[in-house]
Amino acid sequence: ELKVEQNPLFLSMQEGKNYTIYCNYSTTSDRLYWYRQDPGKSLESLFVLLSNGAVKQEGRLMASLDTKARLSTLHITAAVHDLSATYFCAVYFGNEKLTFGTGTRLTIIP
Partner 1 sequence: EAQVTQNPRYLITVTGKKLTVTCSQNMNHEYMSWYRQDPGLGLRQIYYSMNVEVTDKGDVPEGYKVSRKEKRNFPLILESPSPNQTSLYFCASRSTGEGYGYTFGSGTRLTVV
Binding site for partner 1 (CB under 8 A): 4, 31, 33, 35, 41-45, 48, 50, 88, 90, 95-103
Is the CB of residue 27 less than 8 Å from the CB of residue 2? yes
Min separation Cβ 45 and partner 1, Å? 4
Instruction: Specify the residue, 17 or 97, whose C-beta has the smaller distance to partner 1.
Output: 97
Instruction: Specify the residue, 2 or 78, whose C-beta has the smaller distance to partner 1.
Output: 2
Min separation Cβ 12 and partner 1, Å? 18
Min separation Cβ 20 and partner 1, Å? 19
Is the CB of residue 19 less than 8 Å from the CB of residue 13? yes
Calculate ∠ Cα 104-65-52, nearest 5°. 160
| Cβ-proximal residues to 58 (8 Å cutoff; 6+ apart), any chain | 46, 47
Q: How many whole angstroms separate alpha carbon 28 and alpha carbon 86?
A: 25
Bridge-based pairing of strands 104-109 and 10-14 is parallel
Min separation Cβ 47 and partner 1, Å? 8
Instruction: Specify the residue, 73 or 80, whose C-beta has the smaller distance to partner 1.
Output: 73
